[in-house]
Amino acid sequence: MGKIRIAICDDEQNIRSYLAALIRREDSSCRISEYASAEAYLAAGEDYDLLLLDIELGGGAADSGAADGGMAAQRGAAAGAGSPGSMDGMALARRLRSLPPDRQPLIIFVTGYESYVYQAFDVEAFQYLVKPVDEGRFADVFRRAAEKLSVLEKQRRRTLLVQYAGASRVIPLENIRYVESRGHKLLLHLKEGTVEYYGKIGELELELGGQFARIHKGYLVNLRHVEEYARGQVTLTDGEKLVISKYKYDAFVKQHLRFLRQ
């Protein structure tokens, strides 16, 4: 993949500099930006592939700055890094998990406290490193994060070629929220509308592979757009709810977990 966009959010300048040095040791081409607070990160309005995040934020000085010389973190510094009552790292992670899937970074918590490890699972953190950071473990975690980002990028680039209305259209799989079977036709429910063409949902399921799960005889859902689920219902990231068959539920849960671990 191209340059990995990485953010480091920690209220201690020396920690940010140290983590940046470890990253460059593994991949000198990375684009790295530094933030001293959650507010500074959010104010920058930037999207990142990977976020190294301290949980105990709030005590640092407003010295945020982009390590690559960009303006994003400089704008963020004006947001009041280190001010009383500021957002901690776990709250920032929860905020990021409310974004569309393609805007959510992988999160590696880097913290001095082991007690938050179970909360880290709740926000689907990729890994959890305890300070002082072991350099060998950091190298291993960074390598695995880069591998996962490469897989995700390949998934985003995958496309589906469909023919309808006398023309052919190439549709990125990322844009397909779910597929609905209606008689002899398939409806692709996209981010920007729907596309209808002749086809069989069973054949499309085989073609699309593990990124899409069959939740009902008439529905195939893109796992990247699943926000939450329970028996009888799947909720997508845009709030739309789909019926899940009781016969498909257990297989769906297993497939969704495999997808998250990729």
Query: Could you list the pLDDT tens digit for every one of the 262 residues in the chain?
Result: 679 999 999 999 999 999 999 999 999 999 999 999 999 999 999 999 999 999 998 644 334 444 443 334 433 433 333 444 579 999 999 999 988 777 899 999 999 888 888 888 889 999 999 999 999 999 999 999 999 999 888 777 788 888 877 788 889 898 999 999 999 999 999 988 999 999 999 999 988 878 899 999 999 999 999 999 998 899 999 999 999 999 999 999 999 988 887 6
The alpha carbon of residue 24 and the mean position of all alpha carbons in its chain are separated, in whole angstroms, by: 22
Q: What angle do CA 102, 104, 107 make, to 5 degrees?
A: 145
Tokens of residue 75, six digits = 């704008």
Instruction: Tell me the CATH number for domain 159-261.
Output: 2.40.50.1020
* Contact by Cβ (8 Å): 46, 75: no
Q: Which residue has the tokens 């995958």?
A: 158
Q: What angle do CA 46, 48, 50 make, to 5 degrees?
A: 150
Q: What angle do CA 154, 159, 160 make, to 5 degrees?
A: 150
Tokens of residue 178, six digits = 């779910």
Spatial neighbors of 37 by CB under 8 A, at least 6 apart, are 9, 11, 57, 58, 60, 62, 64, 76, 79, 80, 81, 82, 83, 86, 87
Spatial neighbors of 86 by CB under 8 A, at least 6 apart, are 37, 38, 39, 57, 58, 80
* Contact by Cβ (8 Å): 262, 139: no
Query: What sign does the CA torsion over 127, 130, 133, 135 have?
Result: negative
Helix (H, G, I), strand (E, B) or coil at 228: strand
* Contact by Cβ (8 Å): 121, 141: no
Q: Where are the domains of the chain?
A: 5-156, 159-261
* Contact by Cβ (8 Å): 220, 200: no
* Contact by Cβ (8 Å): 4, 48: no
Q: Which residue has the tokens 């953010």?
A: 7
DSSP letters for 22-48: HHHHH-TT-EEEEESSHHHHHHHT---
Say which CATH class 5-156 falls into: alpha beta
Position 85 scores a pLDDT of: 55
Query: What sign does the CA torsion over 252, 253, 256, 258 have?
Result: negative
Position 77 scores a pLDDT of: 38
Position 84 scores a pLDDT of: 47
